[in-house]
Structure 1
């Protein structure tokens, strides 16, 4: 068993990744409306700012900034997962261990978290999130992926229109090791 202790910085900015149990599933995209509903219900009850997000067929990457008095990113992830799962009939295989904990079999139990340390770390994770659909081979440019906050950030002027394309990508530090 691991002795990993999660970072609990109130008001922190966190990069989060959570995955479906079946990593070959398309559930998040085939039911994007249900994911959007789960996110909307979560944001109604938990205060945080969404800096960036991408929804892929089997996993989600988010960059969020918590309220100054909050360190509850784990509760936010749990809420999104729970709100999404509740919208489906229980047809998936559920292990005895999950049954004992009243868990569904849709999501992997754990999630990845990383507290953002500085501006460079922030920008690297923003770029990673928005370039992820290209990394996985779903599209050839980040702008082609519709389930991303990149489009809103381009409209706000945070990213140039051609960000992540071969021409513009020179000098952009995108980490591929996650």
Structure 2
């Protein structure tokens, strides 16, 4: 098992790449894009962060976030966003 290291920098800026399960190409579908926008807006109300850049491709995304000065928990935010999108899209893990 890989030994990943995570940055624990409060107020830090981080680069993320997120890939869909089995690289399924659905992230650019309208319901998924809408769920991402709505989920991010909701999560930012209680767990703020700044989006410095975002690239959305069919099977993965890249983004840059900056967290508040007293916070380093980007993992919680990603967990909440992924959960929101999955619930609102009722994602089917079977390949198309």
Bucket of the pairwise TM-score, normalised by the shorter protein: 0.7 to 0.9
1:4 & 1:60 partners in 2: Cα distance?
20
Question: What secondary structure does 1:17 align onto?
Answer: strand
Quote the residue 1:78 is aligned against.
Answer: 79
2:91 & 2:50 partners in 1: Cα distance?
32
Give the structure, 1 or 2, with the largest relative contact order (CA under 8 Å, sep 6 or more): 2
Q: CA deviation at 1:90?
A: 5.7
Q: 1:90 to 1:29 in 2, by over 3 A?
A: closer
Q: Which runs of 5+ in 1 are unaligned?
A: 94-178
Quote the residue 1:101 is aligned against.
Answer: none
Contact conserved, 2:14 with 2:64, CA < 8 A, in 1? yes
Quote the residue 2:57 is aligned against.
Answer: 56
4+ residue segments displaced more than 6 Å: none
Kindly report which structure 2 residues correspond to 1:75-154, keeping only aligned pairs within 5 A, or say none. 75-89=76-90, 91-93=92-94
Question: What secondary structure does 2:77 align onto?
Answer: helix
CA deviations 1:92-144 (Å, max 9, x no partner) are: 35xxxxxxxxxxxxxxxxxxxxxxxxxxxxxxxxxxxxxxxxxxxxxxxxxxx
Q: Give the structure with the larger strand fraction.
A: 2
Q: CA deviation at 1:3?
A: 2.2
Q: Please, what TM-score do these two structures have when normalized by structure 1?
A: 0.48
Matched, 1:4 2:29: no
Count how many residue pairs are aligned between Structure 1 and Structure 2: 92
1:72 & 1:5 partners in 2: Cα distance?
14
Q: CA deviation at 1:59?
A: 1.3
Quote the residue 2:23 is aligned against.
Answer: 23
Q: 1:64 to 1:24 in 2, by over 3 A?
A: same
1:23 & 1:90 partners in 2: Cα distance?
14
Q: Which runs of 5+ in 2 are unaligned?
A: none
Q: CA deviation at 1:5?
A: 2.1
